[in-house]
Amino acid sequence: MAVATLHGLPRMGLTFGGMLISGKRVAEIGIQQLELNILDIEPLATVK
């Protein structure tokens, strides 16, 4: 974010992208730790 600020670039995209990638990685680690099969997990809600 500091580099983006220094160059006058938008910062939110970088921050959100980093959170998205780290959240995905945490989910992957959690699935591995719990030894879950991703195909057995049912969604909490469905999109209509």
Banded model confidence at residue 48, pLDDT cuts 50, 70, 90: low
The answer to whether the pTM exceeds 0.85 is no
Sign (positive or negative) of CA dihedral 17, 21, 26, 31:
positive
Q: What are phi and psi of 6, to 5 degrees?
A: -60, -40
CA distance 24 to 17: 11
Reported as a single tens digit per residue, the pLDDT across 3-46 is 777 888 777 776 777 788 888 888 888 888 888 776 676 777 66
Take residue 20 and report the two structure tokens written for it.
């998205």
